[in-house]
Structure 1
Amino acid sequence: MTAGAEFRVDCHVKVLNRDVVANARAAGLDAIIYAPHFTRLPEIRRRAEVYSSEDLLVIPAREVFTGSWKNRKHVLALGLSDPVPDFISLEAAMAEFERQDATVLIPHPEFLTVSLGEDDIRAYEGTIDALEIYNPKHLPRDNRRAREISESYSIPPFTSSYAHVASTVGAAYTAFDGDFETESDVLAALENRAGRRVVHTDGPQRWATTAKELAHLGYENTWQKIDRLFLSGQEPTHANHIAYDGRFEDDAVY
């Protein structure tokens, strides 16, 4: 390892296109973790491969929506060998991640109705590899609370831009001690508690990012949700979808 080397990773990005890549490079990132909503793992892998290069490593991942629409608990899984659907119980998802020896990250803990709470984190402490302590959608009190949980359970921290729009990419990232080359290197750093620091913008730029992402959250939870629930039919990542060949029908929550 080169002395003083670090590897900068935006650990959770929802969008991927040329603008995302350009913004990531401009922010000095070495890698991004790409985990779009309601997209099957093979498609995520395909897109990640298309946009990955020597200058920017794009790592495929799934943010699995456990629970129902009213009580979602999101879990970010990397290194999956087999697809895992949405809308299964948290217990079933965690068991599947353990079976696949996946790298498990907890995004935005205790945020609204879409996150693991402290009781969940305590229950799965041995499965969780890292916990997000800063998220641009959070208010300062939310980030403080996330840091408290990370420290209380000695779970290593991470951060991400949680970018739903391209311009947010790089607004927050995790800088790992080391000089990595592959997806496996990054997953090993997360699992082996490699040294790291959490980096994010502050001041007016931070609040502009928060406002932009919260505006998108408002759209996502109104018109986009209506479209998904009532107009577009079954989600392609729903546990009962034909793509999963009935493997998760007993674990589906609706």
Structure 2
Amino acid sequence: MTDGDGGGEAPFRVDCHVKVLDDRIVERARRAGLDAIVYAPHFTRLPEIRERAAAYSSEDLLVIPAREVFTGSWHNRKHVLALGLDEPVPDFIPLEAAMAEFERQNATVLVPHPEFATVSLSEADIRQYADLIDAVEIFNPKHLPANNRRASDIAETLSIPPFTSSYAHLRRSVGIAYTAFDAPIENEADLVAALADGVARRVVYDNGLDRVLATSTELAHLIYENTWEKVDRLFLSGTEPTHPQHIAYDGRFDDVAVY
């Protein structure tokens, strides 16, 4: 398992976290040489994610459904990426409640952008749940170089396998970084198992102008996400589909809902 700013051919290339999905995303992923993308949009319930992923999957590009769960409150949220879920898990529940649910479902748990801003698991969180965490993201285009070095140090210190992704909220970012697995992967179950079993992999990313542009545009989008869009989502749009007290969850998470 190594990281670098490029690499040779590998059996299976996966952008392990994208937020957007349409025909243009699929075409861009194919042009980038990807074999799969992991689709985990914000505030979208698992059945809808699965339906859209299936609609855009093909022999040329596998689209894997996943959920990036927002644990805690909006102002102190910790993102956790879960693959292989059988049942939906809502946002805005405590980290410990989310991790317990992932363990119950035997989900594969990834840590995106560790210790980044106020939206990430800290090193202390990762240490606490190290037995449940299957991989830590060591390169994210939204990160500055110091953030990526810190993330890499955490993964190495705790002996947790790495991964990377474009974390694309915008089309142009898709494929700017990917994880190359040294194993054949044909479906969702294979990728979930490869991540859970620590299959050998390489972290590959573009460190040129495209990456710089992706970083700047994605950071600008992050600022937008946390200002006007936040106000709209929390105060103007009503209950989110992934709110723990939404009717879809049948009251299972009412006692742990943060809001």
TM-score (norm 2): 0.96
Moved over 2 A (4+): none
Q: Quick one: which of 112, 119, 125 aligns to 1:114?
A: 119
1:70 aligned to 2:75? yes
Q: Quick one: which of 165, 169, 185 aligns to 2:170?
A: 165
2:251 partner amino acid: G
1:214 aligned to 2:180? no
1:97 aligned to 2:102? yes
1:227 partner amino acid: D
Q: Quick one: which of 183, 191, 212 aligns to 1:178?
A: 183
Larger mean CA deviation between 183-192 and 8-17 belongs to: 183-192
- Partner Cα distance (2:211, 2:93) in 1: 35
CA positional deviation for 1:203? 2.2
1:32 aligned to 2:37? yes
Name the counterpart of 1:230: 235
Unaligned runs of 5+ residues in structure 2 are 1-8
Name the counterpart of 1:22: 27
- Partner Cα distance (1:136, 1:195) in 2: 22
8 Å contact from structure 1 (residues 5, 179) kept in 2: no
Name the counterpart of 2:159: 154
TM-score (norm 1): 0.97
3-state SS of the aligned residue for 1:111?
coil
- Partner Cα distance (1:110, 1:168) in 2: 21
For residues 130-149 of structure 1, what are the structure 2 equivalents within 5 Å? 130-149=135-154
Aligned residues: 251
Name the counterpart of 2:61: 56
8 Å contact from structure 1 (residues 86, 238) kept in 2: yes
8 Å contact from structure 2 (residues 139, 148) kept in 1: yes
1:43 aligned to 2:48? yes
- Partner Cα distance (2:14, 2:217) in 1: 21
CA positional deviation for 1:5? 4.9
3-state SS of the aligned residue for 1:70?
helix
- Partner Cα distance (1:71, 1:195) in 2: 34
What RMSD, in angstroms, separates the aligned Cα atoms of the two structures? 0.8
8 Å contact from structure 2 (residues 32, 175) kept in 1: yes
